[in-house]
Amino acid sequence: MDIVKLALLPASALACVLILAASPSRARGGDGCLTCHQGLGDKPSALFAHDIHARRGVTCAGCHGGNPATDDMEKAMDKGAGFLGKPGGDQISVVCARCHSDSVRMAAFGSRLPTGQFDSLRQSVHGRLSLTGKERIVQCTTCHGAHGIVAVSDPSSPVHPLNVVATCASCHNNAKLIRAYNPALAVDQLEKYRTSVHGVRNAAGDGRVAECASCHGSHGILPAKDVRSKVYPTNIPATCASCHSDPERMRGYRIPTDQYEKYSRGVHGTALLLKKDLGAPACNGCHGNHGATPPGVESISKVCGTCHALNADLFSSSPHKGAFDAANLPECETCHGNHEILPATSALLGTSPDAVCSRCHSPGDAGYAAAAAMRGRIDSLESGEKSARALVEEAEQKGMEIAEAKFRLRDARQADLEARTMVHAFNDAKLAAVVAKGLATTASVSEEASMTVKEFYFRRIGLGVATLVITVLAASLYVYIRRIERRQARNGKNV
């Protein structure tokens, strides 16, 4: 390189030339780009010295292109030699994918990483176009960094389990940024996460607990409304179970690993997983999302009450409220359970060995007597409704008009539901009033249906009698006509 060319080079490039000239063996045998930039003392070269790619033998040219084996800057940065310079926009991820999407190349570097990350990123919510419409929202370097990339297991990695929440929050806690993409998306997830059991343990250095990627995924993150998303309502129980049903992972946390099995058998799990009722609660319905904890409220009825509002209100003013508080018992959970919540049948109420009332109450106390009386009222209403329904169905089968009575059965059914709800007040007088209303309806329906059935038989008997009379008359008329015909025949012969 002659003096004229040297004079035309900028100061930084000139410094690189001088450094390479002083170290010709390193330039020709190693990474000349790195040698030059280390001589300049810039940050990228300092970071790259510890980068996992540098450790695996990837040179600067692996991403930036060019020829790292020459001390001639023009040749080193010759676009004809594939020099890219600093990749920008989507070109960043495309450059990463040249190796990370090539299983042969990855195997040559001794890597066992999956090679579908780039495809997953493109299909993810982060793979959508940014506000400029020219590139994706997120590039590989957004989360992993550029020159100082280290393995996920390295505590200094921005996507290490102890750091990933802060990495995600760098965008998701930015109200201005998030508002531009999704105004409905909350920007306080990190703050909520730090209040959760997961977040507290994560902040204390436990990298085994759930963080953002544990639930949402990493490269293939999808919107929560996408049925393929790990946090779509019907998928949430399995997502939580991926940790909470793993005995090895739960070892040391003193948490049972059968919650998913129990939930699947319960009314909530049956509704969500089998009937696909998206209104049924998944794990996050009771435990929360980012702020997930055992229900951290004064009373678990505050959690159940978000859906079962009337039941919770009745219980809060019932005699059991004070008793449960004094005994430090969880409210709804004590009688109904938590994960394996079974259908609330009449068997729960009363004094039988299987009834939950008999767990605390015994013969002789007021609660025992009240439980027996309340069960009797519920049974009487259930029996009355069943009897009325049977009579209505009988009338229908006989072809009788019974539409009005059948419609009033809805009122009886409603009274039954109200009665079962009123049980949570644990007040026999209040229950009696609701049951009386239901019994009055069932009695009215039963009477009308019974009369309709009697009318059917009355009509049948009347029809039978009328048929008999008509038959007798027809037979008599036939006999009479035959007599006349025979008489006329005899008279004709005599003439």
Phi-psi region of 277 (alpha: psi -120 to 50; beta: other; left: phi over 0): beta
- Would you give the DSSP letter of residue 129? B
- Residue 19 included in any domain: no
Mean pLDDT (whole number) for 252-272? 95
With 0-12 / 13-18 / 19 or more C-beta atoms within 10 angstroms meaning exposed / middle / buried, residue 43 is exposed
Q: Which structural domain, as residue segments, surrounds residue 204?
A: 152-221
- Over residues 402-459, the pLDDT tens digits come to 899 999 999 999 999 999 999 999 999 999 999 999 999 999 999 999 999 998 888 8
Residue 387 located in a structural domain? yes
217 & 350 share domain = no
Radius of gyration of the chain (CA): 41
Residues 405 and 415: their CA atoms lie apart, in Å, by 15
State the chain's mean pLDDT as an integer.
88
CA dist., res. 411 & res. 395, Å (int): 19
Number of domains comprising the chain? 2
Say what the pLDDT of residue 5 is.
41
145-161: average pLDDT: 93
Place of tokens 């802060």: 166
Name the domain boundary from 181, 206, 221: 221
Please tell me which residue, 71 or 9, carries the higher pLDDT value: 71
Does residue 403 form part of some domain? yes
Is the per-residue pLDDT at 175 higher than 90?
yes
- Gap between the Cα atoms of 159 and 108, Å rounded: 24
- What mean pLDDT is predicted for residues 318-345? 90
Phi, psi of 136 (to 5 degrees): -75, 160
Alpha helices in 266-356 (DSSP H): 267-269, 283-287, 301-304, 309-316, 319-326, 331-336
In 3-state terms, what secondary structure has residue 281? coil
pLDDT of 493 reads 67
pLDDT at 140: 95
In-domain check, residue 431: yes
Assess whether pLDDT exceeds 60 at residue 173. Answer: yes
Full 3-state SS string of 150-202 = CCCCCCCCCCCCCCHHHHHHHHHCCHHHHHHHCCCCCCCHHHHHHHCHHHHHH
Which pLDDT value is given to residue 44?
86
Token pair 């009696």: residue = 432
Highest mean pLDDT among 1-15, 184-198, 328-342: 184-198
pLDDT at residue 7, as a whole number: 40
Paired residues of 129 in beta bridges: 136
Domain annotation covers residue 200: yes
On whether residue 486 sits in a domain, the answer given is: yes
Give the C-alpha separation, 236 to 215, whole Å: 8
Q: What is the pLDDT of residue 9?
A: 44
Q: Which amino acid is at 275?
A: K
Any idea which residue has 């329906």 for tokens?
445
Give the separation between CA 423 and CA 156, rounded to whole angstroms: 57
Digit-coded pLDDT (tens) for 359-393: 999 998 999 999 999 999 999 999 999 999 999 99
Cβ atoms of residues 303 and 205 within 8 Å: no
- Would you state the pLDDT for residue 6? 38
Among 40-44, 236-240, 334-338, which stretch is predicted with the lowest mean pLDDT? 40-44
CA quadruple 20, 23, 25, 30: dihedral positive or negative?
negative
Unique residue bearing structure tokens 């007599």: 483
Domain closes at, from 178, 205, 221: 221
265 in helix, strand or coil?
Answer: helix
Which pair of tokens denotes residue 448? 């009308």
Give me the pLDDT at residue 22, please: 35
Q: What is the pTM (predicted TM-score) of this model? A: 0.80
Q: How far apart are CA 11 and CA 92, in angstroms?
A: 28
Indicate whether 210 belongs to any domain.
yes
Domain boundary among 165, 192, 221: 221
CA pseudo-torsion sign 318, 323, 325, 330:
negative
Count CB-CB contacts under 10 A for residue 229: 21
DSSP 8-state code for residue 493: H
pLDDT at 340: 92
CA distance 113 to 103: 9
Are both 347 and 487 inside the same structural domain?
A: yes
CB atoms under 10 Å from CB of 148, counted, come to 19
Is position 101 within any domain? no
